[in-house]
């Protein structure tokens, strides 16, 4: 799934560093209910999974991914290897099963940088894991967790997350409804 996510995000112009993959996998799991098996906690730059980091290392060791430095001074990009295509062909059923969800996430997130992804993913974490649905309270909580985010940015991120939740409904795997903002 990570191989596919990586490929689809790169196709759509994502920088595809670790943070991009972390946040995309978080939305895939918590927004679309695709069971990736990763545990996400709120960490330095928002939702983060140490298991996912381990899996990326494991995929590098298995020659499925490699790191590429695109520009000096910037974090590296994860790039699928030639072998990863061969690997994906071995799993046509798995690939087909989640393609719709992966494409949705890639479409929605590939144009975003790490700062925006951090805001959005943290705003979504607050709704999803902390159950804070009221948009004002949610924005307040976002600023409390990430004091460098302005009140204006927090409100914008909360509104954007609501739109994303609405858009995600047809792609969600399990029927679990999110309460819209009050």
Strand partners, 46: 43
In terms of CB distance, is 55 or 108 closer to another protein?
55
In terms of CB distance, is 52 or 106 closer to another protein?
52
Q: Which of 11, 13, 58, 163 binds another protein (CB under 8 A)?
A: 58
Sole window of 48-56, 132-140, 159-167, 169-177 interacting with another protein (rule: CB under 8 A): 48-56
Q: Which of 7, 12, 33, 42 binds another protein (CB under 8 A)?
A: 42
Contacts 24+ apart (CB under 8 A), 56-64: 56/2, 56/18, 56/21, 59/2, 59/3, 64/3
Q: Least distance to another protein from the beta carbon of 152, Å?
A: 16
Interface with another protein, residue 55, by CB under 8 A? yes
In terms of CB distance, is 55 or 162 closer to another protein?
55
**x/- letters, 114..133, toward another protein (CB under 8 A):** xx--x---------------
Q: Which residues bind another protein (CB under 8 A)?
A: 1-3, 18-19, 35-39, 41-45, 50, 53-64, 67, 69, 72-76, 83, 86-87, 90-94, 97, 114-115, 118, 146-148
């Amino acid at each position: 799934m990570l191989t596919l996510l990586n490929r689809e995000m790169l196709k759509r112009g994502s920088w595809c560093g670790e943070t991009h993959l972390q946040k995309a996998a978080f939305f895939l799991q918590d927004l679309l209910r695709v069971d990736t098996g990763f545990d996400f906690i709120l960490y330095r730059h928002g939702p983060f999974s140490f298991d996912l980091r381990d899996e990326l290392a494991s995929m590098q060791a298995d020659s499925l991914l490699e790191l590429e430095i695109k520009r000096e001074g910037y974090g590296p990009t994860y790039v699928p290897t030639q072998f990863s295509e061969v690997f994906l062909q071995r799993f046509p059923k798995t690939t087909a099963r989640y393609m719709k969800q992966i494409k949705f996430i890639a479409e929605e997130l590939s144009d975003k940088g790490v700062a925006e992804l951090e805001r959005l993913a943290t705003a979504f974490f607050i709704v999803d894991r902390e159950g804070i649905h009221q948009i004002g309270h949610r924005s307040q909580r976002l600023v409390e967790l990430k004091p460098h985010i302005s009140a204006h940015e927090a409100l914008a991120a909360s509104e954007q997350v609501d739109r994303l939740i609405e858009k995600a409904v047809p792609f969600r795997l399990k029927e679990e409804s999110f309460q819209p903002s009050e």
